[in-house]
Structure 1
C-alpha cells in the first residue's frame, strides 16, 4: 500500500537588514524545517573560513573522486563533474553556488577536510559560533537527510554573515548561467535582473518545498548609503509562488525603510 509523504510545515519567511540584521518582516521564521540547497550558504561560508585558517588557496587544483560524482542521484542538481578530472577549487565554488551542483559541494568537502563527515563538523561548529539555534547540518549539499534542519531566521542570519565576511560571493551569485565541459545550465534565481538583486541561493526538495534566500541592494530617499536587504522564504508550493513572495517582501521591506527615513 503506497505511503504518502509527510505534510510540509506552513511557509516560513523573513526579511532583515543585512548590515544590522534587524527584522523587518517575519512569518513562521523559527519553524524548524529542511533548508534544501540553502545549505550551500554554509558550505561556502565554511570553505572560505577553512581556506583563511589554513592558508590554502582557491587556485588549488582538485582531482574529482568517483564517489563524489556517483553519490549524486539522477534527480539531483550537479555541475557536470567527471571522475578523475581536475578542476580549480574556485570553479567548484561557482558550480555549487550558480547551478547548485551537489557534486561540487561533495568535492569541496572532500578536498578541504578529507570527507563529508569532517566538513560537516566544521559546518556545525560555525553554526554554533554564528548563533544558529535551530540549525543542524547532516548534508553538505542539502539533500533530504535525517536530522538536517534549519529555519528561515537562521538562514537569513547565515546569509548576513556570509555577505559581511565574504562579500566577493556576490560576484558569483549574480551570474546568470554556468557551463562546465558539455554541461550548461542557467541560474535558477529568477529574481536576478530585478532592481538591485545579486544573489543568493535557490533550493528545492520534495520535503523542503521551493526555497530562496535573496538579497538586493538599493538606494533610499534621503540616505547617502545603499541599503541591502535579505529575504528568505522556505517551503513554498511552487517556484512562481516563492519568487512572487520574495519580490513582495523585498519591495515591502524597502518601502518600510524608506518610510522610516522620511518620517525621521
Structure 2
C-alpha cells in the first residue's frame, strides 16, 4: 500500500496520448500522493462497471439516505442532495463529475456497492486490473484519508481507460454549470473552452494541493485523425498555477506531436 506524500512535495505531472498511452512528458509522475477529487475518475469507472455487469441502468432511481448528506462536511463539495429525495444514477454521475459532489459519490457507492466499503473494494480491484501500481483508494470521494494515494501516471492511465471505455462521459465533463433543485455551481475546470478541452476532473484538498486531469482533442498536422491528449498535474500551490501549467503542458504535447509528424 503506497504512502502518500504531502502537497508540499514537488509538482507531479504527465502528458500522454489517450489512444496509444504513449507518454509525451513526465515529471515526478510516480510519486504517491493524495489525489483529492481526481479519485472520482475511479468512482465513475467503477459505476460504469456496475451498470454493465449487474443490470443497473442510469435511469434507475436512488433514494438519498441521511448519511449520504450528513457525512459530507461543510467544507466539502456537494451537489445539493436532500435526504429522502429520489434521484437517478445518471443525475448522480453528473453531480459527481461536473461539480465534484461528495454526496453524489456516497449515494452512488452505497446504491451500487451495497455499502461504501464494498464499493471501495471494487475500486481497488479495478485499480489492480488496470495496473495502477501507486494507487490505493481509502475514500470513494477523495477526501483526505490515511493511506489514500495515487500518482500522476496512474491518474492519467485511469483517465485514458475511462475515456476509451466510456467516451460518452465527455458530454458530462464538458458542461460548464450544474443545477439541482435550489443548488447551482459552475464547473471548476477553467480550461473548458480552450482549444479542444472537454474535461476531465479537478480536485483540491489541503493535503493534495490543486489537482487537475485535463483532456483535449485537436487536429495535428500530418495526422489523419485528431489526437486526444491527457495531462495530469498534482500538488499545485494554487488554482491559477495549476491551470497555467496544464495549459502549457497540453500546448507542448500537441506541438511535440506536430514536430514528430513533420519529421516522419
TM-score, normalising length: structure 2: 0.97
Cα distance in structure 1, aligned partners of 2:104 and 2:252: 35
**Change over 3 Å in CA distance of 1:211–1:87 after alignment to 2:** same
Instruction: Give the length in aligned residue pairs.
Output: 259
Once structures 1 and 2 are overlaid, which stretch shifts more, 152-161 or 217-226?
Answer: 217-226
Q: Quote the residue 1:194 is aligned against.
A: 194
Q: Quote the residue 1:91 is aligned against.
A: 91
Maintained 8 Å contact 2:195/2:218:
yes
Q: Quote the residue 2:144 is aligned against.
A: 144
| Structural mapping, 1:137-216, within 5 Å | 137-216=137-216
Q: Quote the residue 1:129 is aligned against.
A: 129
Q: Quote the residue 1:241 is aligned against.
A: 241
Secondary structure, aligned partner of 2:232: strand
1:45-100 deviations in whole A, cap 9, x for unaligned? 00000110111101000000001100000000000000000001100000000000
Cα distance in structure 2, aligned partners of 1:89 and 1:154: 26
Q: Quote the residue 1:62 is aligned against.
A: 62
- Aligned-pair CA distance for 1:252: 0.1
| Structural mapping, 1:33-72, within 5 Å | 33-72=33-72
- Aligned-pair CA distance for 1:9: 1.6
Q: Quote the residue 1:218 is aligned against.
A: 218
TM-score, normalising length: structure 1: 0.97
Q: Quote the residue 1:28 is aligned against.
A: 28
**Change over 3 Å in CA distance of 1:242–1:7 after alignment to 2:** closer
Secondary structure, aligned partner of 1:194: coil
- Aligned-pair CA distance for 1:7: 6.4
Cα distance in structure 2, aligned partners of 1:212 and 1:85: 31
Cα distance in structure 2, aligned partners of 1:222 and 1:19: 17
Secondary structure, aligned partner of 2:82: coil
Cα distance in structure 2, aligned partners of 1:104 and 1:8: 29
Indicate yes or no: 2:227 matched with 1:227: yes
**Change over 3 Å in CA distance of 1:119–1:7 after alignment to 2:** closer
Secondary structure, aligned partner of 2:202: strand
- Aligned-pair CA distance for 1:263: 0.6
Q: Quote the residue 1:252 is aligned against.
A: 252
Cα distance in structure 2, aligned partners of 1:181 and 1:196: 31
1:129-151 deviations in whole A, cap 9, x for unaligned? 00000000000000000000000
Cα distance in structure 1, aligned partners of 2:234 and 2:7: 14
Runs (5+) with no aligned partner, structure 1: 1-5
